[in-house]
Amino acid sequence: MPRSFEELRTSIAGVPLKNPFLLGSAPPTWDDEHIIRAAKLGWAGAVHKTIAVKETQDPSPRMFARKFLEDVVSVQNIELITTYPKEQWAKWNRHIKAEAPSDFVLISSLMGTGDPSSWTEPLQVAQESGVDMVELNMSCPHGSPEHDMGAAIGQHADLVEPLVRHVKRFAKVPVAVKLTPNVTSVVPVAKAALAGGADALTLTNTHGPVMSAVDVESMIPAPDVLGKGAYGGMSGPAVKPNTLRIVSEVAKALPEAEIFGIGGIEGWRDAMEFMALGARATQVVTGAMMHGYELIDDLITGTRQFLLEGGYPTVVDVVGKALPNLVAHSDLSFQDWMRTWVNPAECIPCTRCVTTCSVVGRGAMKIDPVQMVARSDPDDCKGCGLCVGVCPTGAIKMLPEREARERYQAVTAIYPKASYYFPETIDEAIAALRRRGAMLKAGGTDIMVRMKQGLVSPAYIVDLKGVKGLAYIKSKEKGVAIGAATTMKELAESKLLKEKLPALPETAMKMSVPELREVSTLGGNLCNASPAADMAPVLLALGASLKSIGPRGSRSIPLSSFFLGPGRTTLEPGELITEVEVPFPPEGVGFAFVKAGRTYTDIAQVNVAALVGSRGGVVDYCRIALGSVAPTPVRATGAEASLIGRKLDPASARETAKVAVEGIKPISDSRGTAKQRRDTAELLTRRALLQAGGLL
């Protein structure tokens, strides 16, 4: 049996709890076997599925999970109360009490209508079966209100008080009242429950009713029950901010209230937040549904560690600890005291803070193209602090203004020690690259960041910025020639390219932020061999080739055979790219480049380039290339062939896109899951085709 720990003991309404973690009334407590299994893992108690005079029926499916990347952020459910009769629960409760550890607390959830007598029979059944407490469900937001139950009661203080008082007349065990969050203010309802004699409050039930999603292709709301949907209750991490507010409001207004906190608890830290705002114990639902009953191990171990490290003798000492620091907005300090500072040792730089600051603030965040870090100018920083939250590495700090200014002036990125060599000719560069541990630096937007992260440690850096004649854009008879050291800014602003090959400046303008476009080069973008490089799919679709020079002389390399895998190309040791040759597409061919990422300036989650030409309403030219969906950028030749000879319309674009994604091999990482990438690739391929074909 799991151990009990003195420091975790608490109580609600005089009922001792061996720890503050219970399962709430929901699918995890739908029958006796599930509750017994959870009890033996160490949960302090459970509230079983709600019983009433008559059981209910549930549709299938009845749950819909909304996700961000791989994590569920909310669950909409259209499940109602138990589907089993109260008599069955009487048997199950006795079984639970017989099999669960003796200190396991069993709470029976009850529901009735506005008629007080409808609560009496479920209460008697529960008490006779040996439960330790009852919880009055006055809060279900969907289904039940249609029958004068659930939130239909809990939204009205004048109904809550007499019903609670009625139950208390017959109750032999403590009574908790589960309230709905779907009111302007829960405090008057909480007061009414306490006035009626409630021994404890459970704050709160699911939010809603809500509508989490609509499948816009089929126009069916979620969850799809044979072509129909319905409003439901929402749970999970998305409801936690509102539930924390409700718990704190009641705790401040009614300090005598003993509170179960519930809503969005996924781990020990979430639970401690509820307790810091006034809850004496917590109930977990969606967290258990997502992580299993074994979540109790993290709750117990994490909380014990928190108490030890924080100097709290017991978990009860945490209750309400944050409330003195929660004040009215008008009581906050309005002193302009802080600015943000970016720790160069931790900055990637991903540009997410730059994007956010350009919209929310005065554009204080800029990328330093020399040190390859984000920097926040104290003169322009408004002190909103949002950049701190969007930073994925925790590099951005809030500091007193004077300290932020001093650190801004002294900022220096720390890189591994390496020797630098600045050749003046290509031959000198090739010779230098033969040295052991040598690496090439063009714009430095990749190698400098990777050095700081410890991913590469070159002993010798060959910097190309002193080599003349590698940055140019020239028109040729059948295309353009672009020097490998030409920057993305130069590509984006080239009048020649805008006139003769607009695909390239259009793509360059969608890359990162202006500061990085000033230094990042076309050759570097390709030689990094990132599967997510924006220029690669475009040049692949255009049929570009590369000119290189190395110890064995010069050669031409088709871009289609250049990439071998992430960070790997066909370049030999000491060989470097000098030029990119891009042929003109046939006259009248349309182009589109589309990408998706966490922000507009971020590295692509997926990018797609498409070229489409038609004659007589029939497609006679098609090129499709995709990035960030395989180890290398890929041409979708099968999809191209499938569209030739057909009219381009939404239907043919959809079929072509399906063929295009058959050959991709996306991965899951911090920017997206494999499934998301596959779905996004199909969507963006359709979009690119329709744009290139002039239909969008």
Give the separation between CA 314 and CA 527, rounded to whole angstroms.
58
**Contact, 153 vs 178, CB < 8 A?**
no
Q: Write b or e for each residue in 611-627: b if 16 or more Cβ atoms lie within 10 A of its Cβ, otherwise e.
A: bbbbeeeebebbbbbbb
491: Cα separation from own chain's centroid: 34
Quote the tokens at residue 558: 């088709």
Give the separation between CA 110 and CA 596, rounded to whole angstroms.
48
Give the separation between CA 174 and CA 105, rounded to whole angstroms.
12
| CA atoms 584, 588, 589, 595: torsion sign | positive
Rounded to the nearest 10 degrees, how much is the dihedral formed by the CA atoms of 347, 348, 352, 355? 80
Rounded to the nearest 10 degrees, how much is the dihedral formed by the CA atoms of 358, 363, 367, 373? -100
Radius of gyration of the chain (CA): 32
**Contact, 451 vs 416, CB < 8 A?**
yes
Rounded to 5 degrees, φ, ψ at 277 are -100, 10
- Number of helices (H), then strands (E), belonging to the chain: the values are 24, 34
Q: Is the peptide bond before 61 cis (omega within 30 degrees of 0)?
A: yes
**Contact, 260 vs 12, CB < 8 A?**
yes
How many alpha carbons fall within 13 Å on the CB side of residue 308?
Answer: 8
Q: What is the DSSP string of 613-640?
A: EEETTEEEEEEEEEESSSSS-EE-HHHH
Q: At what angle do helices 157-170 and 117-128 cross, to 10 degrees?
A: 40
Give the separation between CA 84 and CA 86, rounded to whole angstroms.
7
Q: 521: which DSSP letter?
A: B
Q: Where are the alpha helices (DSSP H) in 268-360?
A: 268-276, 286-291, 295-310, 352-360
Q: Write b or e for each residue in 348-359: b if 16 or more Cβ atoms lie within 10 A of its Cβ, otherwise e.
A: bbbbbbbbbbbe
**Contact, 116 vs 105, CB < 8 A?**
no
Measured in residues, the chain has a length of 696
**Contact, 526 vs 533, CB < 8 A?**
yes
Q: 413: which DSSP letter?
A: -
| Region of residue 663 (left: phi > 0; alpha: psi -120 to 50; beta: else) | alpha
**Contact, 535 vs 522, CB < 8 A?**
yes
| Region of residue 567 (left: phi > 0; alpha: psi -120 to 50; beta: else) | left
Contacting residues for 556 by C-beta, under 8 A, at least 6 apart:
545, 546, 547, 548, 581
Catalytically active residues, by annotation: 140
Three-state DSSP class for residue 524 = helix
**Contact, 623 vs 541, CB < 8 A?**
yes
18: Cα separation from own chain's centroid: 34
Q: 21: which DSSP letter?
A: E
Alpha carbon separation from 10 to 25, 267, 280, 293, 361 (Å, rounded): 20, 18, 7, 21, 45
